Amino acid sequence: MGLSPVAGGSTVDAVLEQLQAQVSDGSWAVGARIPAELDLAAQLGVSRPAVREAIRALSHVGVLEVRRGDGTYVRSSADPRPLLRRVARASARDVFEVQLAYDVQAARLAARRRTGDDLARLEDLLRARDEATEPDAFGAADARFHLGVAEASRNPLLIEAMRFFLGRLHESMRAIRLDREVPEAGPARHRAVLDAIAAGDPQAAATAAAAVVEPTLATLDTLLATPKPGHDKQPDHDTRPDHDTRLGKSAG
């Protein structure tokens, strides 16, 4: 597959797409150096800034790696764009289900790998969660406990994935104004997770973690199916949600 001069739409987007295609289909192997910016600009019939913007975007997501004075190299052949698109448009429910997957796996791994320090830290986090009353503070404490479990799993990728999706989830919930209406699971269920982790029982930990989130997910479905009156009003100024959270459309 070769490169061809770009046609319509956005120039930079077209360039980006062609570069990503070269990487995805293996024309440019992982580890290989791609042509210089000026060469690419010439081959594509665009200016150098256009090529640079495309390379910068691909570099930011880890597909390319730029080494000043040397050249630009392929770092990963996996195309992150479909996932990025989905993450941007995902409904709160979809994010919640992914988050549940992380929670269960984190608990399972934590049960096998947790240290004494981990347990002490988790105890602190759970206590802080129990003592929090104000909604925002409680939400933050709850997230910190879940993250604490992930940290005990000793899997940095899982930790960061969970951190990101927790933030994304919080965002989605706020967008549809359910962040204060969806009841959280009580202290008992969280205690069960910690106990299973302390006991070193992966299976029990996984089950307990699922039990923490499942009820909330069920409640979320109920709320989405029958929105409460007086809370479906659209924000009337500067906010531009419109990138459908695919939830409140029934009320429109």
Partner DNA sequence: TCTCGTAAGATGTCTGACGTCTTACTTTGG
Partner DNA sequence: CCAAAGTAAGACGTCAGACATCTTACGAGA
| Binders in 63-122 for DNA, by CB under 7 A | 66-72
Region of 134-142, 153-161, 184-192, 222-230 interacting with a copy of itself (CB under 8 A): 153-161
Joined tokens for residue 242: 């419109």
Say which entry of DNA, a copy of itself, none residue 110 contacts (CB below 5 to 8 A, set by partner kind).
none
Q: Is 252 exposed, middle or buried (0-12, 13-18, 19+ CB in 10 A)?
A: exposed
Judge whether 234 and 251 are in contact, CB under 8 Å: no
Please tell me whether residue 240 binds a copy of itself under the rule CB under 8 A: yes
- Spatial distance between the Cα atoms of 215 and 209, rounded to a whole number of angstroms: 11
- Strand-strand pairing, 33-34 and 71-74: antiparallel
Given candidates 19, 23, 46, 152, which one binds DNA under the rule CB under 7 A?
A: 46
CB of 194 to a copy of itself, least distance (A): 20
Is there binding between residue 250 and DNA (CB under 7 A)? Answer: no
Among 47, 203, 222, 234, binds DNA (CB under 7 A): 47
Residue from 25, 26, 84, 222 binding a copy of itself (CB under 8 A): 84
Residue 225 buriedness (CB in 10 A; 0-12 / 13-18 / 19+): exposed
Number of H helices, E strands in the chain: 10, 3
Q: Is 10 in the site for DNA (CB under 7 A)?
A: yes
Of 52, 112, 154, 163, the one binding DNA by CB under 7 A: 52
> Closest approach of Cβ 228 to a copy of itself, in Å?
23
Binding residues for a copy of itself, rule CB under 8 A, total 86
59 versus 121: smaller Cβ distance to a copy of itself: 59
CA nearest to 15, candidates 37, 39, 36, 44:
44
